[in-house]
Structure 1
Amino acid sequence: MEVYADVRAPLLHLANYRVEAFAERLDRHATEPGFELVLGYDGLVPVGYAYGNTVDARDRYWNRMAEPLPDGFTDTPALAVKEIGVRTPWRGTGTARRIHDDLLADRTEDRVTLMVNPLAGDGRVRQLYETWGYQAFNAQPPTPDSPRLTAMIRSRVL
């Protein structure tokens, strides 16, 4: 939880970013099919993390989209990256990409999807994901504790 708290420090006052809210999400996600977490290190120092799980046609992940999905879109399971975070000193160094790629390395899903706050980093986070091959395909309506998120997808292997 220390890495998460450090990564999200400026946002911890918001309900969706509280450490307790993250712990609850992580506990729930850890029970879902295909869960995997990667923790990145610089020597002995944990510097960031990424985790996700497999989502298939029945998963609520797809049901929360703002717009209907095309026929057959969910027929093939995908890896849903639920969160990526890197401590400030390691941002802009390629660390997030290496952690992301480690998460994808041994997966069997053909596609990978994630959600991004389009305003995060003044839009730079979404732009970063686009350089990684992701394309926006939908959105998730806001909840009381979360902003409207952009849903992005790409092939697992580029």
Structure 2
Amino acid sequence: MTELDLRHFPELTPLARETLIDLYADVRAPLLHLPNYAVATFAERLDRHGGEPGFEAVIGYDEGEPIGYAYGNTIESGDRWWTRMSRPMRSALTADPVFALKELGVRAPWRGTGAARRIHEELVGNRTEEQRVTLMVNPAAGDGKVLALYESWGYEAVNEVQPNPDTPPLVAMIRSCVA
């Protein structure tokens, strides 16, 4: 693998949208038959997320080919992200704005190469939100390997959530960005 070209998209442009949807369809191909993972469902979520405050995406390219992506946006106290948790969250974790990582994916040939982490760090490393980033992960994804990967990146499980009836139960995780 050559050095990745990591491109920032601070808004959901038509090019970014098309590239994100194409990447998603490839990355999630084995799951596309499930309602929550359908491409049309992802496109609806992407459009909603793209219009929320603090949206940003990073797309990684290897020799001009898009190979992975991450995106998210700012969430504040009282955001539906926090209110859907199975247990109330401590206000110390939710009082200040936080960056919510909404999606991260890398095409199969680039998995295990460090590409996902480089895309992730490029996205969350320059955010202005207060000292934390949060995400939700299916604990069964990759037979638990995805959850373990996030833990190795410094995330800690803090709650559970089932965003809607079509989704599996997810683990909510938070990582401090303070060195």
Pick the aligned partner of 1:83 from 92, 99, 103: 103
Moved more, 135-144 or 83-92: 135-144
Instruction: Verify: 1:61 aligned to 2:87, yes or no.
Output: no
> Structure 1 stretches of 5 or more lacking a match?
none
Judging changes above 3 Å, is the alpha-carbon distance between structure 1 residues 12 and 119 closer, same or farther for their aligned structure 2 residues? same
> Structure 2 stretches of 5 or more lacking a match?
1-20
Specify the alignment match of 1:128 in structure 2: 149
1:92, CA displacement in angstroms?
A: 0.5
1:69, CA displacement in angstroms?
A: 1.1
1:2, CA displacement in angstroms?
A: 1.4
Aligned residue pairs total 158
TM-score of the superposed pair, with normalisation by structure 2:
0.85
Secondary structure of the corresponding residue to residue 108 of structure 1: coil
Paired-residue identity, %: 63
Specify the alignment match of 2:124 in structure 1: 104
- Kept in 1, the 8 Å contact 2:84–2:163? The answer is no
TM-score of the superposed pair, with normalisation by structure 1:
0.96
Residues 78-108 of structure 1: CA deviation (Å, up to 9, x unaligned): 1000010000000010000000001012201
Pick the aligned partner of 1:139 from 160, 170, 173: 160
CA RMSD of aligned residues (A): 1.1
Instruction: Verify: 1:15 aligned to 2:35, yes or no.
Output: yes
- How many Å separate the matches in 2 of 1:157 and 1:13? 40
Secondary structure of the corresponding residue to residue 93 of structure 2: coil
